[in-house]
Structure formats: structure tokens, C-alpha cells
Amino acid sequence: MIAVFVYGTLLVGESNHHVVSPYLMEVQPGTIHGRLYDVGPYPALVRTDDTHEVEGEWIEVTEEGLAAMDILETYFGPHHADNEYERIWVKDTTSEKEGWVYCYPSPRGLPAIQGSSWKSHQRNNQM
């Protein structure tokens, strides 16, 4: 199994969860250091110092699940010129859990999401 931290549309109940659900072995809550930015229909995570945290889920998937996420996240391999996201190794802020996460290299002028949760941001914007 491969551990991946998800924080946006791949979360349980979100619009792209179906991409990973056939390969899903386990889900548990988690938090990593970073900041979320609003791309519109999905968030982008940018790694930051230890002052900001992002809430999400640690999922355990098969190799096929990781490959399906690579396609969704437009990830072709480390530092590939056509990547939208990079896939990097991270550790949870409160546990020993560690694994992959997809992150943007920079915020690229995107508006920062207030708070640490994409789901909360979505709920607040629907009101």
C-alpha cells in the first residue's frame, strides 16, 4: 500500500473521490504543513514553513491508485516540465504517518484560502 495525503477533490465525499475509491484500502484524518490556494473548482497546496497547516486525509492506495492520481493531478514524474503538481514526500504534523502529497511549486497569484480545510472553504462559499 502507498500512503498519500489528500486535501481537496480526492477527499471522501468530494467530486474526484471516484478516481481513487476503487483502489482505496484505508482512510484516516491528518494534517501537514502547507497553505491552500483557491484555483476555483479545486485547491492547490503550497508547502510553507511551520506556521500554516492543511487538514485532509491520509489514504492508503494500490500502485494503480497512485497512477490514477498522477493522471488526475497532471504529474508525469519528478520535475517534469509539463507537471501541474509535484509529488513530494511529507510527514503528518501530529503523528508518525508519512507519504506522498501533490503540491503546487508556488501560489502563482492565486487567492489564499482562509483556514486549513478545503471542505470548510467549500461550505462557507456555498452560503
Residues annotated as part of the active site:
73
Residues 61 and 72: beta-carbon distance below 8 Å: no
Question: Measured between alpha carbons, how far is 86 from 35 in angstroms, rounded to an integer?
Answer: 15
DSSP tag of 104? B
Contact present, 100 and 5 (Cβ < 8 Å): yes
Question: Taking Cα atoms as reference points, which of 73, 36, 70 lies closest to residue 55?
Answer: 36
Pairing between β-strand 2-6 and β-strand 98-103 as defined by DSSP bridges: parallel
